[in-house]
Amino acid sequence: MDLGLKGEAVIVTGGGSGIGAAITEVLAEEGAKPVILARRPPDAEWLARTGAEFVQVELSEDAACVAAVEEARRRVGRIYGLVNNAGANDGVGLDKGPEAFRASLNQNLLHYYTMVHLLREDLRASTGAVVNVSSKTALTGQGGTSAYVAAKAAQLGLTREWAVEFLKDGVRVNAVVVAESMTPLYRRWLESLPDPEAQLAKIASRIPLGRRMTEPREIADACVFLLSPRSSHTTGQWIFPDGGYTHLDRAIGGDPAG
């Protein structure tokens, strides 16, 4: 299926690793022009293979975001789409206090707003699209992650707010909600446990469809479809490519294939 993204420039924050890298790869396959905004450069060979542009930026700094967007426009022209993806679960819970909470929101939430603010005229001019990458913790809670959950829940609210604000412009805004997917950050968390493989098997056993983790590629496919004109009448939606983990009863038993 041709998603109609050939030649379209799309910014992907955190697009050089994990789910962001998978999104960059799918965009490149569709003939789009991905622009990665991130703190650290990705692997040079991988970057060359995807043909993506890379702009180094500290997304928590407003002035740095302004400069990065200007540089992206200089390299690829008008921006069609945005994937707000960068962020990490930093474990800021009730014990850490207000200062740590604010700092975490700056790392995980505020740049979502900043990027849409800076790109609003590009999006209107191109009748483009935004995808916000969120987390199932916004709906389920997790414990010990107050700031991350607050950021992820706010992203879902902003998805619907921005969908309304852009209605007259034809710009679509949707969210992809990630549950259990094997990213480098997730793998590092697993490796910090006494028995990583046992923990992985325990988690996978609770995922209704296939009793397996969601592949980053599966999340990327959903993101890129939502960016594309083939998803032309979808806006303000929260999409869950999670094997039923968030909404189906995790106690469902029996043969996963049956």
Measured distance between the N- and C-terminal CA atoms of the chain, rounded to whole angstroms? 30
Task: Find the length of the chain.
Answer: 258
**Burial (Cβ within 10 Å: 0-12, 13-18, ≥19) of residue 19:** buried
148 is catalytic: yes
CA 132 to chain centre: 6
Closest alpha carbon to 132 in 219, 33, 28: 219
CB 118 within 8 A of CB 46: no
Tokens read off for 141:
């809670």
Helix (H/G/I), strand (E/B), else coil: 128 = coil
Task: From 100, 160, 99, 96, select the one nearest 134 (Cα to Cα).
Answer: 160
Catalytic residue among 80, 112, 113, 148: 148
The candidate with the shortest Cα–Cα distance to 245, out of 203, 196, 187, 188, is: 203
List Cα–Cα distances, 251 to 154, 204, 244, in angstroms.
Answer: 29, 12, 12
Instruction: Detail the DSSP E strand segments found in the chain.
Output: 9-13, 33-38, 53-56, 81-84, 129-135, 172-178, 238-239
Residues with catalytic function: 148
